[in-house]
Each structure stands twice: as C-alpha cells, then as structure tokens.
Amino acid sequence: MYHPGEATFALISVIILALSVWVLRRQPVRILNSKRRPKLKRTAHDFLSQTPARITTDIGISPPSMDPTCENPGRSVLLDLPVEILQQIIEAAHSSCLKELRLVNHIISDLATPLLFAKYILSLKHIRGHGQNLAERVAPEQQIQLIRKIEAIKSLEELEFLTSNVQDLNISAYQIRDAVKFLYEEPIQQDTDDFSPLGVQILQNFICSMKRLKTLRWNISFCNLSREIDFSPIAGSVTHLELHPIIDMDPYDPPSPQYSPFPSFKAFTNLTRLTLLLWDQKSLDTLNYLPRLKYLTFEPSYELDTTAFDFLEIQQAPFNLEELTLKYGTINDPFPEHLIPKFLSNLKRLTSRTELRPESLIKRSMWDVLREHGILLTHVSEHNASRMLLNYLSSYANTLTSLSIHMVPYRCGRTATKEVCTAEHNGMLAFMNEFWQDVIPKHASTLKRLKMFPGNQHIRSGEGPGKAEQHRMVEQLNLLEPWSLGNHIPAAKKALMMCERLEELQMGSAGEVGFKEAIEVAVKSKRVSKLTFNLKGYAVRPQMRGWCGTGMMQFLNEAMGMRKRILDVRWEDDGIPDSRWGKVDIEVIPVGKLALVRDKESVGLFKLVDFKDVASWTLFSG
C-alpha cells in the first residue's frame, strides 16, 4: 500500500545530484524556512559523500517518516524552492522515478508529468485466432485490455495527460482487425488491408489531438491510412517526421501504387528533420516541398535505384542541409555537382552506408565534388574507406571532430599466390600510412571521436602440395594488420598522441592484433575516457537466447577464449598515475566491459578485470 512517506523518501534520492550541481554553480537561490545556507565552497565529492539525512538537513528537509500511521509528515522546504530549481531536480531524475514523483505533490506532479509522457508509442497489435467470434479467439484479459485501449483513443476521454504532453508519437502498430465489431455498428478494419472510415477517423482524431506534437514516427504497414488521414491540424507544429513503413506482402513483389505511403504527409511542409524509407520511386513527388529541412536520413529499398540525390532533384524549394545520412543504395556517378549550392552548401555531418564500388570505375566521386566546393565537414562516417576520402579529409585542417571509417577488405582469394596477397597487403599498409601521416595530424587539435573498423584477414587455403608455405605467409601477414597499432606502422601511435582533445577511441582487429597497444595509447593520452576494441571483426557480443540459442555456442566459446587471453595480458605503469589507468572505460567486443587495476601479484604492472568486479577488487586489494 502506498503512503506519502515513501514517495518523499524517493524524491530525496533524486534531488541529491541536481542540488550538488546547483551548489557548484553558485546559483543565488533563496531557501525559505531554513536557518542556514549550504556552504558553496564545498566540493561535489564532499556534498555527495554525506548521508541522505545529513544532506536533507543541510537543505532544510526533514527525513520522511516511515510510520504508516503518520497522516501529515509536514510540508517539505523543498516545495518552497523556485520552480526553476525544482524543474532542474525533476529533469535530473531517472525516467523510472517519474511515476512515483507524480504521487508526491501536485506541484511535483505538474513538473514530472510532461517529462513522463513526452514520448508515447501507440501499439494496437493484430489479433488472430481460429474461433468463430472475438470472445473465443481472445483471452478475457487481453480482450478487456484491447477494448479499453480502443475506447480510450476513440473517445479521448481522460487522455488529457497524453494530449497535453506528448511531443514524440510513434505509431508502431494499428492492427485491430475485427477486434471491435461487437462494439460498433461497423468494423474498424475491413476484410482487406484497408481500414474502414471509422478506423481512419479514430486514428486521425487521436494523432491530431496532440497539442504539443513535434515528432511523428510512422512505422506501420502499407494501407489506406496514409492516403486518407488529414494531418493538416498538426502539420504546422510537426518538425520531425519519420516514415519507415513496413510491408506485409511478399518482399520480392513491389508494392501496389494504391499503397503509396506518402500522400497524406504532403501537408508537412515545416519539417526540419526527415527520415525516409522509400519503397516506390513514384512516391517522391509527394514530399517535394520542404524549405526548412536541415537533417535528412534516406534509405531506399534493397532493389530501388533511387538515391537521396534523386530526392533532392525533385524538390521545389531549396534548403540548407546540415546533416545527411545515406543508408544502403548507391551514390550518383558522376555526382550531381549542381545540387551543392541549392542543398549542401552548409553541410556539416555526413554518414554514408552505401554500396562499395571499385574506385577505378568511379567517374566523379562525391568526395571530389565536396573538396572542390570547399564543404568542410565536422563529422564523417564512411562505410567504405577510399583514397578519394583521404584526399578530401587531408584537404582542410582543424575542423573535423568525429571520424568513423570501415576498412576495405582484402580481395585476394583462397587460391591467391604469395605475390598477390603481399601486393594487396602492402597497398593497404600504404593507405593506412597515408591516413596516419596526412589526415589525422591535420585535425589533431579538434578531433574528439575516432572509430576505425577492421577489414578481414588473409585467407588460408586448404591442404595440399605447396600449401604449407602459403599458410606461413598468410600467418605472417595477419600479424601485421595495416589498421592495427604496432611497430610495423609507427605513424599510428604518433598521430594518436597528437590528438590532445581525443575523448573516444574505437579500433579493432580481424584477429587479435594491436589490443595491448590500443590500451597503452588510451591510457597515455590526455583525455581518452572510452576505448572500444573489436576482436576478430566482431561487431556485437553473441547472445544465447531462445530455442536456437545453442547455435551460438561456438561463437560464445570463441569469445570466452578471447577473454582468457586478454585477461592474461599485463601493462607496465610507465610512471602513469593510478588515477589515469582507472579513468578509461574499456569495452572489448565480444568479451564485454573491462577495467584496468593493479596486479597484486606483480609490482608495477596493471591487468584487466571484469568491470563488475572492480569494486570488490579495489576493496580487497586496499
């Protein structure tokens, strides 16, 4: 049973962090009914190291009574603080606490409610069954829950907490076929994939009732909803639109023209951010007037040749993009240079996940055009490293703050000779030397994040005459990965140590090369606080879930073997303070999160332990 003392006690734990920040900022806030003020000269550590009772005394709050018979615990001085300070306290709370905070007091509730319901996901799942009617097909508790949801969004009664606060609305599921035939004279969804006028009207009224809506995410399947809903009541306020429609038909069959997902969205002309999954090239014409657009994420379907630059071609009004994300598909070649002045002259962030094309076949690349027009990007994320990219990045200086690149894999196959593989390896080594010598030093004063994903290993072919020599050659080359750190490429360490503002570093290996060196660079650097290392090209850690989880056993065993090997590695302290060794958050994929601690058995050496064991390790070693 809930009583006010518990909610007040939960609130106290929430305000500690916010008030410590307030104290450090020396904000001149008057605390009413308090005989003394907090000492502003105390550090955050001093403030946070106190017990909750001591802190609440300092700010004039009495610890709440946990006696369930206590009817009036007294008015907390916290409620006398200015609303601006209370707002900071509530915003600092974890989202899981917001529900409890709404029960504390009407003042706190008024501040917590807009945060709790700022985002909302509408998910009315499709119900299928084999019975003759709804009651037979749906379990009673599910039936009641479904009816309540449908009645609520239809009547909008008692939904003021949503309609007045939701700013980000995600329509993730609206599949209620035959669910309420017994409630109304007509069904909401017809026998086809289309919705009846009633079904369209219910969803339209619900969406358009949102008074503060800024972001609309449309993630439901193709149907008549996106042709018949009238979005004009909210079109002027929505600035972020995400169109990611799914398709229920055979993925190899193109959608019918009647399922074009965009006609109703033509009303949104005030957008600054658009995320678009395009299934049909004919749909481009319905989103062709976006004069305020600044952020564009474009993803064509797997078999569609349309590109983001084709999307720009049909626009009826120019706009200045600041960020462009290209997912899958290709890039026009030759690149449409005339689009630069109309749309890309102010571009600052570019992410490209497009298909790899041999450089020898490219007539005029995007990177060459950007370089010639003086477009200076601050963030670059490129899935396919190329010499054209290096030429672009080295053409300007002291601007780039974030760089993420994927290395191009080797192309020598299983039957490649020693000469072919060696030439391929040396070519990539020269590429990486150019990267470390010509690109990174140019942006050493501004670069904060650097992420490099490895290519592949040289392949060892099967057994047979002459294969032993090839195996030895491949093993030697794989120990000298061009994208790793080591004595074979000294320019890499030198360039990284020049980056005085580098905070986040991600590197990797197609095998298990360069890990020790990456740790050394991160610790010796001035500001690196996060290091991620991908072993053997793993992008994520394997998970054993569901009935088919045992199929991941071989990958899990491989990860456990990697874990054992890296936990055996030791690092010399080299005079680096212990505090610096502990400031780097380390994640090794697929092993997990690790931390550096002093080795109790060896003087002057550090080792890795699981992050969750750091506290106990420090306790027993101290």
- Taking only the tens place, the pLDDT of each residue in 575-606 is 888 889 989 999 999 999 999 999 988 888 99
- Assigned token pair, 270: 């005030």
**Is 58 a member of any domain?**
yes
Distance from the Cα of residue 251 to its chain's centroid: 27
| Domain span holding position 571 | 538-622
Render pLDDT for 13-72 as a digit per residue (tens, 0 to 9).
545 544 444 443 444 333 333 333 333 333 323 322 333 333 233 333 344 444 545 555
Neighbours of 45 (CB within 10 A): 8
pLDDT score of 381: 97
Question: Which position has the higher pLDDT, 152 or 587?
Answer: 587
Over residues 511-525, mean pLDDT: 94
Stated as kind and residue range, the H or E segment containing 88 is helix 83-92
> CA-CA distance, 401 to 445, in Å (whole number)?
9
End position of a domain, from candidates 116, 131, 158:
116
Q: Helices 418-434 and 467-478, interaxial angle, to 10°?
A: 10
Residue 60 lies in a domain: yes
pLDDT at 494 > cutoff 90: yes
The count of structural domains within the chain is: 2
Q: Is residue 89 part of a domain?
A: yes
- Judge whether residue 231 has pLDDT over 50: yes
Could you tell me if 380 and 393 are in contact, meaning their C-beta atoms sit under 8 angstroms apart? Answer: yes
Give the pLDDT of residue 197. 86
Does position 82 have pLDDT exceeding 70, yes or no? yes
Amino acid at 185: E
**Strand-pair category, 504-508 with 530-534:** parallel
Supply angle C-alpha 33, 36, 40, rounded to 5. Answer: 125
Average per-residue pLDDT in the chain?
80
pTM of the model: 0.81
pLDDT in tens, 164-195: 999 999 999 887 665 555 455 566 766 666 78
- The answer to whether residue 437 sits within a structural domain is no
Whether 593 maps to a domain, the answer reads yes
User: What is d(CA 502, CA 299) in angstroms, rounded to the nearest whole number?
Assistant: 31
Q: Residue 421: what pLDDT?
A: 84
Tokens representing residue 515 in the block: 């890990």
Residue ending a domain, choose from 86, 116, 146: 116
With tokens 């600052």, the residue in question is 348
Q: Which residues of 139-155 are buried (b: 16+ CB within 10 A; e: fewer)?
A: eeeeeeebbeebeebbe
Domain boundary among the residues 53, 85, 116 is at 116
CA angle 266, 268, 271 (to 5 degrees): 130
Residue 87 scores a pLDDT above 90: no
Q: What is the separation of C-alpha 330 from the centre of its chain, rounded to a whole number of angstroms?
A: 23
In a domain, 75, yes or no: yes
Tens of pLDDT, residues 548-566: 555 567 777 888 889 999 9
User: Is 434 part of a structural domain of the chain?
Assistant: no
275 assigned to some structural domain = no
Mean pLDDT computed over 598-616:
84
Over residues 256-270, the mean pLDDT reads 77
